[in-house]
Chain A
Amino acid sequence: MPTSSEVTPVVEVEKGRRPAGSTTRSAKRGERKGAAARVLGFVNQKGLTPAIVVVLMIVVFWAMNPSGVTLNTLSTLFDQSAALLMLALAQSLVVLMGRIDLANSALASFLCVLLVIWLNTLGPIAIPLVLLLGVAIGALQGWVHMYFQIPSFVVTLAVSGIVGGAGLIASGASAVSLIQNFELVQWFYESPGGIPLAFVIGAAIAAVLAFFVAKTARGRTLKAIGSNQRATAYSGIRTTVTVVLGFALAGLLIGIAAIMTVGQLGTASSGIANSLLLPSIAAVVVGGTAISGGTGGPGRIVFGALIIALLRIGLDIIGVPQEFQPIVYGVIVIAAIAITVNRSRTLSVV
C-alpha cells in the first residue's frame, strides 16, 4: 500500500486562477503590528492569559494585604486546588466534547464516602475499587447519554441526584471517618522539599491529558466531536465510543479527586465535595475552554484551577465573607463564558 507521499499528484489544478484569492497571503505578510500587539497576540495564541492572571492576582492580593500572602498560604493554595484541579480536568474533557457534567462533584462526594468505608473495611483494595467505580459510572453516563440521545446535562443532573442519595444511604447520612489506612491516601499532602505533592501530581496528570488531547489521534476526536459531531461521524469515527471514553476518563479523574479529598481531610460525608461543581466549571471556562465545545482542553486547566483556588483564598485574605464567594464564582462563570463564547453565528445581518 502506497503511503500518501508516494502517490503522484492526481490532478494539477492551475494556480493563480483568481487574482482576488492570491492577495490573502501577501496581505498577511505585509501586516505590521506594534510590539505590544505582538506580545498580546502571542499571549492569546499560546493560551498564556490565565497564567498571567494568576501572577497578577497574587500581586494584587499581596498589595492589598502583604502579611496575608506568605509561602504558607501559597502552599495551602496548591493543596486546596489539587482536588479542584482534578474535577476541573474531568469537566474539561466533557466540555471539550461539547457536553457538560453536572454530576462531577456529587460523584466525587459519593466516591469519598465509599473510599472511607472501604478503606476501613476492605483495606488497600479500596483505592482501585473507587477508581474503577468512577470509570464505570462515568462510562455509563456517557453511554446513556449517547444511546438514548438524552442531553448530557439531563443525564448528569439525574446521576448527581442518584449518587447523592446513594452517598447518603452509604454514609448513614452522617460524616464517616477513616480509622485505618490513612497513610494510603495522606501521602498526597506531603511536601518533600517544599514541593506540594498533590498539586505536582495534578499538574502531571494535566500534562498527560493535554498531550492526549493535542497529540493523539484518539484525543483529537474528543475535540472534533465537540466542534461538529456530524462531520466527525461522517469521517468514519465512532462517536458513541469516543464520548463514552471521554466520560469514563472523566470518571477516573473524579475518582482521583475523591482520593485526594479524603487524603486531605481523613473524613467524608455525602456532600463533602458538592461545593466544587461551580468552581470546576469556572476553572474550565476561565482556563479558556469554550463551553460550546471544540476548543481549549486540559492543557489550559491548570491555571484556570489556580485562578479559582486563588480567588477562594484571596477573597479570604482581603476579608470577603464566605457567603459571598459563591456569588463571585457565579459572576465569574458568566463573565468568562461571555468572553469565550462564539457569538459570530448569532450576528447575522442581511
Chain B
Amino acid sequence: MSAFDCVIVGGGIVGAALADVLSADGVSVALVEARSIGAGTTACGMGHLVAMDDNAAELALTSWSVSLWRELADGLPRTVEYDACGTLWLAADDEEMAAVSAKVANYRAAGVRVEVLDSAALYEAEPALAPGLVGALRVVDDAVLYPPLAARTFALRAQARGARLMTGCPVRELRPGSVVLSNGDVLTARHIVLAAGVASPSLCPGLPISPRKGHLLITRRGAPVVHHQLVELGYLKSAHGTDGASVAFNAQPRVTGQLLLGSSRQPGDATREVDAALLERMLKRAAMFLPGLDGLQALRVWTGLRPATPDGLPLLGPHPEKPWLWLACGHEGLGITTATGSARLVADQLLGRTSAIDARPYSPARFLTASSRETAHA
C-alpha cells in the first residue's frame, strides 16, 4: 500500500496539469491513468486555446487559462507545437456581424485583446476563404497546440519532482481515503481528485457528465494553410443546441503544415465509429468556407468524446456529499484550453488558497444537491 497527499485519477490533460501544479507546490502526488497519458479525449481534440464568451463564468475561466498557457509557452518543448495564431470568428452575414460588437465589449471587459476585421481586412488576412463573408472578430492571443504532448510534458515535469506516474492502471473503486486499482493494489491518499473525463461517472455515479461525440479530419503536410484558427460565428448556435447532431466550420493551421478540420457534435453518442453521414455534413459545411477543400489530401479522420455537463461548465471542486473526493472533470470541448486554469482552481481550493478568479460558478454543488443524489441512487 502506497500513501500520497493526493491521488489524481485520470491522466488526461486536466489531471496531468494538476499533477504539475501540485507537485510544484511540494505535494506528494500519484497520477493514475488507465491507459496512457493524454491518450483519451485529450488526444482526440483540436488543441485550441480559446477565450470564449458564452457567459461570464466561461469567459473568466477561458481567458485566465489562455493567459496561463501563454506564460507556460516558452517552457514547452517545440514538439508541443504551441502556436499563438489567434482566432478569427467569421461573420457570414450582417446579423452575425452585428453580434460581434457585443462580443467585443465582453472580451475587452475581461482584458482579452480583440480586433474587428471588415471584409477587406478579412480577405487580406485569409485569402483562401470563400467570398461573401462580411467580416470577423480576431481574438489576438488565442493559440493552438498538440494536446497529447502537452499532457505528457506536464506529467513528466511532475514525475521529475517526485510524483508517481502510474499508466496502464485502471481504477476499480474510489473510497474515502483510498483508491483501489483493478489489480487489487490500494493507494491511500488524503485527497483524491477525479479527473477522468467521460469515464468519471463510472467511478462516481450520479455525476452529470455525458459524452458528446465529435469528428475531426487532418490533411497531409503541405496543405495550403490558413493563418489563424477559423471558426464560424454560427458555431455558437450549433454548439449549444443540445438536441440532435450538429456541425460547424472550424479549421486550424498546424505548424506541421497540416490543416485540422472540425467540427461535429452528437450528444449522448458514446460510439467510436466514424459516422459517414455526419462527416459528410461537416465537410460540406467546411467546403462552404474553404472552396478548395475537396482537393486537399485527407490523411486521417477520427472521433472523440467530449465530457459534457448540462450548463457547459466544468465541475471543479469538492464533491458536496463526499468531502474526501475532489472533482476536476466535465470540460466538454474546452478541456485543453482550461486545463491550466482548472488545475490552479482545484489546487488552490485543495491547499486552502485564494484563486485569481472566483471558483464558485464551477462548484460541483450546483448539480450534486440532495435531490439529484436521490436520482443518482435510484
**Does chain A bind chain B?**
no
